Structure 1
């Protein structure tokens, strides 16, 4: 069996010691996606809603590059630095979510963490998804 496909779309920040996505057969696993642009820079330091929306867009970019899409997501894991801020912004976060995932709601977990690798990041999202195989 061949090894996994390692996927690093140019629209996402440059990988350094990791891949944005790995896929094998019909499974896609995403590394944590943050609210960064193609250079890897956080676009809205301190803004949970903006970073959440951008991180979801980055999830969609990585999924598509791996031959998948948001509607094929099986599991999302959210890491946030402030659960209270997440709860306080459920409506705009939900709007950002539906803009990318529509009404597809895969299994999901949310964890509060004391920090993320990029100190300006306040949210990071991991995803497991199916891949379209020909």
Structure 2
């Protein structure tokens, strides 16, 4: 089985991992995305800002593989602060819809003690099924 590494144009090259891997059956797996931009800089320091950036990063990878938000079938969220997430449910929903509209894939959320990048507040990985016409 062959696969293709997906790296959106203009992004700093990932080191030690792939931002996305597209298999020949059209399944796209994203690496865990955090709230930094294409230059690996954290512009947002708050949870909602980082969450929205993470979702934009995922969508950039999906689009680079030839897909759309509607092709995302699963997301796994890793958050450092459950209380922060729960206290901002309305803002979470608004930020989510700005990026993914009303497409809601299967999701899981895990509360974790920490993430590798100290500034990261949330990490999300996604799976998409992309069918080429």
Question: Which band: TM-score by shorter chain?
Answer: over 0.9
Aligned to 2:26: 26
**Partner Cα separation in structure 2 for residue 88 and residue 11 of structure 1:** 35
Matches within 5 A, 1:1-134: 1=1, 3-24=2-23, 25-45=25-45, 47-134=46-133
Cα deviation digits, residues 36-60 of structure 1 (max 9, x gap): 1121111123x10100011001110
CA contact (8 A) 1:9 1:62 kept: yes
CA contact (8 A) 1:12 1:36 kept: no
Shift in Å, 1:75: 0.4
Across the aligned residues of Structure 1 and Structure 2, the Cα RMSD in angstroms comes to: 1.2
Match of 2:14, SS state, is coil
Q: Paired residues, what number?
A: 132
| Unmatched tracts of structure 2, length 5 or more | none
Hey, which bits of structure 1, 4+ residues long, moved more than 4 A? none
C-alpha distance in structure 2 between counterparts of 1:54 and 1:63, whole Å: 14
